[in-house]
């Protein structure tokens, strides 16, 4: 049983579209992180969210931490081919990663 | 520029061989980690170390051991490789920051195939 469930597992959309991916858990996390992994590389940290209800923006990426600190979402506006990759969420204190969302942005 | 390096990008070994995967970080981090990554399963923690000569089992330690003789180096050992250990292996390091809120820095991974 995955402690962190990510959905969807796969997403393929056209350049310019918007999308949202989700990270859900039945457990409360003190903080949650999002990483992106490109082919042939290790994951790289995008953001850490700590406070329930927190929203952080990183250019066209918007991250939100649920009020109860059990879930998080990542919204990408006007997706570009450079956003292609595997997006992983991680609950900090349990060293647990979700299974990831593999995102493909088609030109 | 921070760096985590892994000894090999690709490795092919035979069943029963002893396999060493090496990881080195140049950031003076206390914590080091070994994960394996399989499609649909995400990253699963094998072992981690929070100090030299210290180690803790992760979620899937069976069939693996680790060694940390120096702060910058963390080795993963497959005592007798089996085909179900074919996977991508990722090493990571991090500082120790209270309450577990820390960034992990990952190496590029070693894709191990056991035949």
B84 at interface of A, judged by CB pairs closer than 8 A:
no
Residues lower than pLDDT 70 in chain B: 1-2, 97-101
pLDDT for residue A2: 56
Residue A94 has pLDDT above 80, yes or no: no
For residue B90, the chain A residues in CB contact (below 8 A) are 42-43
Query: Is any Cβ of chain A less than 8 angstroms from the Cβ of B42?
Result: yes
CB A94 within 8 A of CB A25: no
**What residues in A contact B35, CB-CB < 8 Å?**
97
In this prediction, residue A96 has a pLDDT band, given cuts at 50, 70 and 90, of confident
* Facing residue for A97 by CB, picked from B42, B48, B103: B42
Report pLDDT digits (tens) over A43-60. Answer: 999 999 989 999 999 999
Instruction: Name the band, by pLDDT with cuts 50, 70 and 90, for residue A36.
Output: very high
Min Cα–Cα distance to chain B from A73, Å:
17
Which of chain B's residues have a Cβ under 8 Å away from the Cβ of A33?
Answer: 103
**DSSP of B55-66:** -EE-S--TTEEE
pLDDT of residue A93: 67
Please report the beta strands in chain B, taking only residues with DSSP state E, as ranges in sequence order.
4-6, 10-13, 19-25, 31-38, 42-49, 56-57, 64-70, 73-78, 87-94, 105-106, 110-114
The average pLDDT across A70-82 equals 96
Strand, coil or helix: A13: strand
Q: Span A65-80, mean pLDDT?
A: 96
The answer to whether the Cβ–Cβ distance between B99 and A9 falls below 8 Å is no
Structure-block tokens of residue B38: 């399989």
Residue A81 has pLDDT above 80, yes or no: yes
Cβ neighbours of residue B1 under 8 Å, at least 6 residues apart? none
Query: What share of chain A in percent tops pLDDT 70?
Result: 96
């Amino acid at each position: 049983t995955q402690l962190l469930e990510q959905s969807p597992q796969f997403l393929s959309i056209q350049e310019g579209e918007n999308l949202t991916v989700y990270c859900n858990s039945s457990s409360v996390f003190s903080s949650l992180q999002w990483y992106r992994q490109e082919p042939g590389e290790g994951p790289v940290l995008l953001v850490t969210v700590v406070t329930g209800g927190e929203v952080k923006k990183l250019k066209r990426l918007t991250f939100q931490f649920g009020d109860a600190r059990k879930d998080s979402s990542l919204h990408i506006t006007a997706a570009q081919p450079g956003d292609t990759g595997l997006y992983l969420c991680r609950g900090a204190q349990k060293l647990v990663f979700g299974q990831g969302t593999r995102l493909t942005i088609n030109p | 520029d921070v760096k985590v390096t892994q000894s090999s990008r690709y490795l092919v070994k035979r069943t029963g061989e002893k396999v060493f995967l090496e990881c080195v970080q140049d950031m003076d981090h206390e914590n080091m980690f070994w994960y394996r990554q399989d499609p649909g399963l995400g990253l699963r923690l094998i072992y981690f170390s929070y100090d030299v000569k210290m180690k803790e089992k992760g979620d899937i330690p069976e069939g693996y051991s680790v060694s940390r003789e120096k702060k910058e180096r963390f080795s993963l050992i497959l005592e007798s490789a089996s085909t179900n250990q074919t996977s991508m292996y990722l090493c990571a390091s991090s500082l120790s920051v209270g309450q577990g809120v820390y960034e992990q820095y990952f190496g590029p991974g070693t894709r191990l195939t056991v035949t």
